[in-house]
Structure 1
Amino acid sequence: MTCCLLNGKRSYTNMLKDTRPYPLVLVVIFLLSFIIPNSPAKADSMPIMGASMLTSKQMGDYVLLTYPTPKLTSVNIYQLADLYLEIGRKEGVRGDIAFAQAVHETGFFKFGGDVVPEQNNYAGIGTTGGGVKGAYFSSPDEGVRAHIQHLKAYASTEPLNTVLADPRFNLVKRGIAPLWSDLNGRWAVPGRGYGEKVLQIHMDMAKMTLAIPNVYLPANHGLPVARLMISSDVDMLNPDGTFYKTVKKDESIRVYGVLGNSYDVGGGYLIEANSSKMGAYIGRALVNNTNTIMYSPDGSVHRIFQKGEALRVYDYDDSRYQVGGGYYISASDKPVYHLGRIKLSADTDFYSPDGTPFTVLNKNKEYRVYGIDGNSLDLGGGYTIRYDKKTMTYIN
């Protein structure tokens, strides 16, 4: 039985709706990951406050590996993970470990106890058992915000940076529990080993092999599959794992694949994934409709774009394009998604979908690339060119 909030008792498990398929090979990857040495972090030395390390893809894949149909309301598991990372960043709380706590509290988002999915209550706030439902939150964003704020109430005396959502924030003695082990007997009653259980889930999530959303690896071509946007200085490692150089904040680096929990940035050089220091975008969305809306993570209107503007895309599904920080544009606005652009320095043969020559493209022109298959670059409608690095420059 798990419990939450002050000294109340409670038990529940819950679930989400996610239409994204995931490969069965995840099972193999997860099992093989146990051969990688990973010294468990002790709960009595792991602070609640701090920067997240994992990516939303690792976090979501871990949940789906155990429970393929988590019960959520208006987000999928990856979007929920993004909310934990983004709101955790704003409040200085380890959003990735908070997500692990939500996994523990909800039983991989199956729910099934006093709390129901429609409450958007991922931490059992206000639930004391015996049929007591606890707090209701109007959206996943508000539910995550309340969870992160409740952790901050226990772990810190610093003021909130987001609008108060936690109904029991002011009932906590501020700063009384800076470590995850300090939640034993507080968040959970009797709570023996509670913090350790949460951290074990986090360590299991960290064993998930890094993946790039909507990118199938290994690629069958030598062009970059994504680009890292660096938000804080990071180390680039030599192929043998030794330090090579520091990549500075605001630099961008091409990504050619992944190796373990690191991005392959070409030539065998690696950058270890860290969601608090970087994000990997996979393409761009060209705004095609005037007054295309960018939505905040909570679903409110953030700003309006005009036709012709382009946005980096970090992930997408049938309903939306994620453009960073949990912000998104709707697929119903029909943006033109493409992987990158190709510049031609020589006249180039252009082929029909059936592979026969169609025309010749003039040099010094630039075209959007919608797909890459081997050395074949799809420039739209199935019409292709054959990539030649001597006469072409690919930009992603």
Structure 2
Amino acid sequence: MLKDTRPYPLLLVTVLLLSFIIPTPPAKAESMSIMGSSMLTSKQMGDYVLLNNPTPKLTTVTIYQLAEIYLETGRKEGVRGDIAFAQAIHETGFFNYGGDVVPQQNNYAGIGTTGGGVKGAYFSTPEEGVRAHIQHLKAYASTEPLYTELADPRFKLVKRGIAPLWSDLNGRWAVPGRGYGEKVLEIHFDMAKITLAIPKVYLPANHKLPVAKLMIKSEVPMLAPDGSLFKMLNKDESIRVYGVLGNSYDVGGGYLIEANSSKMSAYIGRILIKDSKTVIYSPDGSVLRPVLSGEALRVYDYDEEAYQVGGGYYVSAADKPIYHLGRIQFSADTAMISPDGTVYSTLKKNTESRVYGINGNQLDLGGGYTVTYDPQQMKYVN
């Protein structure tokens, strides 16, 4: 059963120190390459859209799922998925449309439309539409082959590698297109100002335990409290996260890792599958695969309808998986306290329990029953 810790006195970690962020000037369009690694997170990207348009007109995905598809598809093709998303914002008017293209086309880049009522290309799913967009950018920016199935109907009409920079799209992607690349980068710069967020992480001010875990996809630096390089983290390493500071993850002791969606992802908990009929859905709502009873899946975000398990894939909340923040492992016999404050039972040494909520040093084990966290007698694993 989904647990909600919000009745406690809370501090949302992601409102920390917004005023401390010193944004760097936007890169000039003539010096910004279309190819490269994304820097922003899907949470930043989705939040930026919703701040400007609370009801984006999408078909079968949420704005956060769409942002994740841009990041993942961009990573596969080596294109800046976060800036491509900024271009989609520019082309669709924050996904409000209103021009020739309609939401049902899943055409986020105006591929094939020339104005005057010409609607352009139709794509069957959001994934296909994003793939076509990323591929069209790659056609302009690079001569490298595609690594994903061709979806762009105009890919072969582009002279490969003719526009490696965003400014090179001026007069090509849009006609006359004066300042087109600069407008896209301005949107990206504004989007980068959105404070890094860890979805669904609400904390009391005296919280001392990790709130998420970073999974490292590619080598990234960890910075010491004085800003110097402490060490490099390698692919497949993981590290606990205690909060955020500006656009960096706080990994404890004043050490920071700058957020970069192409090189890391942060998950906040897990779901334990109980119903043998549970499946993982693709972002377009089709079934990806069944999930075995007893299987545990990482969760990156959730709402009343679904648990996001990465890459826009999700498990329906209607299947009632058991969501938990982490586990507590006991190295000594420990008293479990009932909701009325009395001792209910003793949890034995070398056992463990799921943790559904955290309030200071009180760990919620479900149903209002708690234990008092003592690092000398127990270990918290998130």
- Normalization by structure 2: what TM-score? 0.92
Indicate the SS of the match to 2:201. Answer: coil
String of CA shifts for 1:270-295, please: whole Å, max 9, x gaps.
00001111100100111112243223
Matches within 5 A, 1:58-137: 58-137=44-123
Aligned to 2:263: 277
Aligned to 2:32: 46
Aligned to 2:364: 378
Q: CA deviation at 1:86?
A: 0.7
The CA distance in 1 between the partners of 2:30 and 2:198, in whole Å, is 33
The CA distance in 2 between the partners of 1:302 and 1:115, in whole Å, is 29
Given the alignment, which residue of 213, 222, 242 partners 2:228?
242
1:256 aligns with 2:221: no
Percent identity at matched positions? 77
Aligned to 2:301: 315
Indicate the SS of the match to 2:89. Answer: helix
The CA distance in 2 between the partners of 1:173 and 1:242, in whole Å, is 44
String of CA shifts for 1:188-229, please: whole Å, max 9, x gaps.
111111001101111111111111011125754100000001
1:304 aligns with 2:290: yes
Structure 1: 5+ residue stretches without partners: 1-24
1:387 aligns with 2:373: yes
| Contact 1:120–1:136 (CA under 8 A) maintained in structure 2 | yes
The CA distance in 2 between the partners of 1:219 and 1:31, in whole Å, is 17
The 10-residue stretch of structure 1 (209-218 or 230-239) with the greater mean CA deviation from structure 2: 209-218
Q: CA deviation at 1:329?
A: 2.1
Could you say if the C-alpha distance between residues 71 and 30 of structure 1 is closer, same or farther in structure 2, counting changes exceeding 3 Å? farther
The amino acid across from 2:170 in the alignment is N
String of CA shifts for 1:209-261, please: whole Å, max 9, x gaps.
11101112575410000000111111111112111111122111000000000
Q: CA deviation at 1:298?
A: 4.3
| Contact 2:18–2:246 (CA under 8 A) maintained in structure 1 | no
Aligned to 2:8: none
Q: CA deviation at 1:268?
A: 0.7
Aligned to 1:204: 190
The CA distance in 2 between the partners of 1:103 and 1:147, in whole Å, is 13
Given the alignment, which residue of 241, 245, 251 partners 1:265?
251
String of CA shifts for 1:65-104, please: whole Å, max 9, x gaps.
1222211111111111001001111111110000000011
What is the aligned length?
A: 371
1:363 aligns with 2:354: no
The CA distance in 2 between the partners of 1:295 and 1:163, in whole Å, is 20
Q: CA deviation at 1:319?
A: 2.2
The amino acid across from 1:193 in the alignment is G
The CA distance in 1 between the partners of 2:168 and 2:203, in whole Å, is 41
The CA distance in 1 between the partners of 2:23 and 2:110, in whole Å, is 34
Q: CA deviation at 1:32?
A: 4.2
Indicate the SS of the match to 2:329. Answer: strand
Q: CA deviation at 1:156?
A: 1.5
1:335 aligns with 2:350: no
| Contact 2:140–2:160 (CA under 8 A) maintained in structure 1 | yes
Aligned to 2:200: 214
Indicate the SS of the match to 1:235. Answer: strand
Q: CA deviation at 1:376?
A: 1.3
The amino acid across from 1:352 in the alignment is S
Could you say if the C-alpha distance between residues 30 and 196 of structure 1 is closer, same or farther in structure 2, counting changes exceeding 3 Å? farther
| Contact 1:30–1:208 (CA under 8 A) maintained in structure 2 | no
The CA distance in 1 between the partners of 2:18 and 2:230, in whole Å, is 31
The amino acid across from 1:324 in the alignment is G
Aligned to 2:337: 351
Aligned residues: CA RMSD: 2.1
| Contact 2:48–2:194 (CA under 8 A) maintained in structure 1 | yes
The amino acid across from 2:309 in the alignment is V
String of CA shifts for 1:107-165, please: whole Å, max 9, x gaps.
11111111121221111111111122222222211111111111111112222222222
The amino acid across from 1:259 in the alignment is L
1:171 aligns with 2:178: no
Structure 2: 5+ residue stretches without partners: 1-11
Q: CA deviation at 1:299?
A: 3.8
